Amino acid sequence: MNLELYFAPGACSFVPHVALEAIKAATGQAFEPKLVKLHKSEHHTPEYLAMNPNGQVPVLVVDGKPLTQIVAICDFLDRSFPKAGLLPTDPWARAQALSQLAWMNNTAHPTFTRVFRASEFAESEAAQAEVKKIAAAKYRTLLERIQEWSAPAKPFWFGDRITCHDAYAFTLLRWGGMAAVDPKSLPGYLAYVERVTAAAPVAVVLERERIKLDTYKAT
């Protein structure tokens, strides 16, 4: 299978990026990482929009055909490479896992978008500041939910293998620093994500994307 992943450093494309490294380690299946420079609007070119009309990362290109949306990409990768164990096999456990992944993608993630890009949600500076403030407070409560979910992680979300859930949990905590959430104020979540950070497939992606976990700056 020929696989290409269009990703941007620190973006949610980190999730399939880590999944693909985990698959490579478990099965030997290679993939080509394709850097998309968002600051240069490379995701708005006609060629890119032909792959993903939403103008977003990630896009997984499978034998020349583009697949978008993290939940669909993780499901496809799991079904194609079951040896990597990205999702549970029991139907109920799998459905619960997809429910959590979908929630990270459709609830936690868009709440952070309101903090990071408030100008897309309100016009005046005052209104933007308000959007940001409300979303940042909400975002913290959502990170607390992930802290509860990840409490049994031994050492990772689904045991001894790194999966999409671990990569999303990492990304959302890392974004928390940009929403003024001190990761040390979520000690259980931080300890879990520090284990994730040290895992080999994650370390490779951190190096390639040139990012670090801690983005928090005390004011």
What is the spatial distance between Cα 210 and Cα 147, in angstroms, rounded to a whole number?
A: 25
What is the spatial distance between Cα 84 and Cα 26, in angstroms, rounded to a whole number?
A: 5
Decide: residue 130, CB within 10 A, 0-12 exposed, 13-18 middle, 19+ buried.
middle
What is the closest distance, in whole angstroms, from the C-beta atom of residue 137 to ligand GSH in the complex? Answer: 21
What is the closest distance, in whole angstroms, from the C-beta atom of residue 168 to ligand GSH in the complex? Answer: 10
Integer angstrom CA distances of residue 76 from 30, 110, 114: 16, 23, 29
Collapse the DSSP code of 139 into the 3-class scheme (helix H, G, I; strand E, B; otherwise coil) and give the result. helix
What is the closest distance, in whole angstroms, from the C-beta atom of residue 49 to ligand GSH in the complex? Answer: 11
Please, which residue, 114 or 132, has the CB nearer to ligand GSH? 114
Backbone angles phi, psi at 204, to 5 degrees: -60, -45
Position closest to ligand GSH via CB: 56
What is the closest distance, in whole angstroms, from the C-beta atom of residue 38 to ligand GSH in the complex? Answer: 6
Site of interaction with ligand GSH (CB under 6 A): 11-12, 38, 43, 55-58, 68-70, 105
What is the closest distance, in whole angstroms, from the C-beta atom of residue 209 to ligand GSH in the complex? Answer: 12
**Residue of 9, 3, 4 whose CA lies nearest to 40:** 9
Please, which residue, 105 or 150, has the CB nearer to ligand GSH? 105
Please, which residue, 71 or 137, has the CB nearer to ligand GSH? 71
The one-character DSSP state at 156 is B
Please, which residue, 70 or 202, has the CB nearer to ligand GSH? 70
Please, which residue, 73 or 153, has the CB nearer to ligand GSH? 73
